[in-house]
């Protein structure tokens, strides 16, 4: 729960305004789903890795800057995704 709580502290980055709606970035989505730790979220991440190969370095850099633990978990998911290709 500590990881999810740390994301919630930054949840102001993903808000709707009066005349605009900001969407979560792909890297932010990975951060959120890694924090949730649900099997469905992990499966979603594996599928997202498969179709976003060109963006993996950007996602990894974001995760490394916010949570090195998430970056390590992300690397393990990349291995899993590559095994399923």
pTM: 0.76
How confident is residue 7, by pLDDT bands cut at 50, 70 and 90?
Answer: very low
User: Cα-flanking dihedrals φ and ψ of residue 19, to 5°?
Assistant: -120, 20
What does the angle CA 49 – CA 46 – CA 67 come to, to the nearest 5 degrees? 80
- What's CA 12's distance to the chain center, in Å? 16
* Per-residue pLDDT, 20: 72
d(CA 44, CA 55) in angstroms, rounded, equals 16
Per residue in 17-67, pLDDT tens?
667 767 889 999 999 999 999 999 999 999 999 999 999 999 999 999 999
Half-sphere exposure of 7 (CA within 13 A, CB side): 20
Query: Domain span at residue 69?
Result: 2-84
Q: Total structural domains in the chain? A: 1
């Amino acid at each position: 729960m500590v990881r999810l709580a740390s994301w919630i502290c930054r949840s102001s980055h993903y808000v709707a305004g009066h005349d605009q709606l900001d969407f979560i970035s792909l890297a932010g989505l990975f951060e959120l789903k890694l924090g949730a730790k649900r099997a469905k979220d992990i499966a979603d991440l594996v599928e997202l890795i498969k179709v976003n190969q060109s963006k993996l370095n950007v996602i990894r850099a974001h995760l490394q800057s916010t949570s090195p633990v998430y970056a390590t978990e992300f690397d393990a998911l990349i291995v899993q995704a590559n095994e399923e290709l």
